[in-house]
Amino acid sequence: MPKAIALYSGGLDSTLAVLVMKKLGVEVIAVLFDTDFGCSVSRRSGGKAASPAPESIGFTVETHYIGDKFIRHVTDPKFGHGKNMNPCIDCKVLMLKEAKKLMDERGADFLITGEVLWQRPMSQRKDTLPKIEKEAGVAGLVVRPLSAKLMKPTMPEDNGLIDREKLYAMSGRSRKPQMALAKELGLTAYAQPAGGCLLTDPIFSFRLRELLSRTQTPSMKEVQLLRVGRHFRAGDGAKIIVGRDERDNQSLQKLAEAEDYLLHVTGNYGSPLVLAEPGISEQGLNLAAALCARYSGARTLLVVPVKISRNEDSYLVEVPPAENAVIERLRIHQPSQNI
């Protein structure tokens, strides 16, 4: 039985690619590469994807973390960024290199992806795909079941490991062919397109550029915080992040480290959780408290009590809510965003 490593995202295309190859008698090891930027459909959609559990449709998925390697490609991509901060070609190259290592370790014969020709303008063009394979050292080893008939035969096809006639010729951005194939294969629930990873999001990309303008080697914590809350820079350059809702508050609580400052309004008022970076000045902390007050249920009061905690220590300050002019001046945001 031929064996293959499949690059899996949880989306319809990669699910179909796995099911098609299993139907052809291939033993498939499905792998999800976690880059910390929400490349899987479930993470891009906040866990609301409608895809069934892989186990329920006949296969399992391994998750392999590559965030520490991927961040280097985000900060300095060999093949450049897309419209925002997405290094799509570098991303594909890295994942194929990692998949090739697994292929060799597991004794697999080839690789599988759910890529559809011309679906993505940067990384899924007919002239780009062979270049990506060559750069990754996997030329001729990548089978793309959904578009295979529109491309040159791969080694597994030439060697008789799989029947090329039973593969497909899909192209373009329409999902109708995939939906028809899903119906044919008995796949009734699947996620809707989620618009790419976080690096394709203009707001996230704007924040990332601002962070990279200050450090070329951001920590993964700094990167993870970019997706949470409203972001500000105090006059001393320290980052202040204000939670927008309970979900943000929980994320900030989870990502906070011992040296970070956490702030919230006391009393019977709804309050954001605010995270201020270590090293922030006393003036910066007062600003963080004012921002906390401004986005709380006590914003109409003249003075608001705010608790500041760090490690095991905490104390109370009373501050007026921040004015809109201060928010506009210090917030890290694109002009089109609301304050």
Q: Would you write out the chain's pLDDT as a tens digit for each of its 339 residues? A: 899 999 998 888 999 999 999 999 999 999 999 988 766 544 444 444 445 566 667 788 899 999 888 888 888 889 888 888 888 889 999 999 999 999 999 999 999 999 998 877 667 778 889 999 999 999 999 999 999 999 999 999 999 999 999 999 999 888 899 999 999 988 887 776 655 678 888 888 999 999 988 887 888 889 889 989 999 999 889 999 999 999 999 999 999 999 999 999 999 999 999 999 998 999 999 999 999 999 999 999 999 999 999 988 999 999 999 999 999 999 998 766 666
Do 144 and 262 reside in the same domain of the chain?
no
**CA-closest candidate to residue 197, choices 8, 71, 12, 43:** 43
Chosen domain end from 185, 204, 238: 185
Do 140 and 247 reside in the same domain of the chain?
no
Flag whether 289 is in a domain. yes
Dihedral angle over CA of 271, 272, 273, 275, nearest 10: -130
Instruction: Look at the chain and report how many structural domains it folds into.
Output: 2
Chosen domain end from 163, 185, 207: 185
Do 290 and 141 reside in the same domain of the chain?
no
Do 153 and 268 reside in the same domain of the chain?
no
Flag whether 280 is in a domain. yes
- Distance between CA atoms of 173 and 184, rounded to whole angstroms? 20
pTM strictly above 0.85: no
Flag whether 207 is in a domain. no
**CA-closest candidate to residue 168, choices 155, 187, 184:** 184
Do 45 and 150 reside in the same domain of the chain?
yes
314: containing domain: 228-330
Flag whether 215 is in a domain. no
Do 17 and 145 reside in the same domain of the chain?
yes
